[in-house]
Amino acid sequence: MEARTESRIPDLLREPAPSISFEFFPPKDDASEAQLWTAIRTLERLAPAFVSVTYGAGGTTQDRTIRVTERIAHETTLTPLAHLTCVGASVAALRQVIGSYAAVGVRHILALRGDPPGDIRAAWTPHPDGLDHAEHLVALIRELGSFSVGVAAFPDSHPDSPDLDHDVEVLVRKADAGAEFAVTQMVFDAESYLRLRDKVAARRDLPITPGVMPVTNVRQLTRMAELMGTPLPTTFINPLLAVADDAEAVREVGVALAVELSERMLAEGAPGLHFITMNRSTATLEVYEHLAL
């Protein structure tokens, strides 16, 4: 199949106007798949720079991730950013997945080390015939075709990282391996994003787009933060905890916090916003409309 003509993500992130992008996760059943495609079709109308589909915790749902990404490439006008992790995969298996993405015209890949399967806080052990770090996966992808490769960034430091400077060094190595842009984990404090962005910018030209999640469920947020090893600053979590028993109030506060964070980061020169949608469109649309992008 001939690849579709589409703009390269790193080029879009360098344009004067901020880009928007959306993150989805692969569905577990028919009902959640219908919900996913409702969200995709609704948000497609906003003409995002790209959309991504994640792997599950510990590298699970790989097959569904690939299937949904291929459907987006075939059936929509959207540019898919395909996720790929090193978890449980030999180099031969990784080459096969990369080839399958190329065959359906997917030209952008987010290269991730990934988390240990079963217990994402466990010590990382690579596949005996696999890769140990995301920078090695970046290099492999670049060797296999004309892909544009993105990587993950951690404003509040990766759980295995001793400090911010180490995270910066890791991003620099990923850029040197061929990464052209980065997308962060969820940002809860604009200052943490700006510190990381500025330290990397002093060493490499690597656009870093912050991840933003309009919170609609406090329990879901705290669980995700725990899994990621990301601290929740009191300025973010306390307003949500204050209304935790009122679902509509949680939604209103969550949208307001997302708008405030987004406005601050855009004002400070963030190249765009990457919305973690949880496969729903309405809260993300509310934030988008408040920002008047």
Q: Which of 76, 75, 84 is nearest to 55 (CA)?
A: 84
Tell whether the torsion through CA atoms of 278, 211, 215 and 46 is positive or negative: negative
The strand pair at 50-53 and 19-24 is best described as parallel
For residue 122 the two structure tokens come to: 């466990």
Q: Torsion angle of alpha carbons 110, 208, 48, 102, nearest 10°?
A: -20
Helix axes 234-241, 247-267, angle to 10 degrees: 160
Report the C-alpha gap between 138 and 162 in whole angstroms. Answer: 23
Answer left, alpha or beta for residue 104, where phi above 0 means left and psi between -120 and 50 means alpha. Answer: alpha
Token couple for 123: 């010590």
Selecting among 6, 15, 23, 252, the annotated active-site residue is 23
263 catalytic residue (yes or no): no
Active site residues: 23
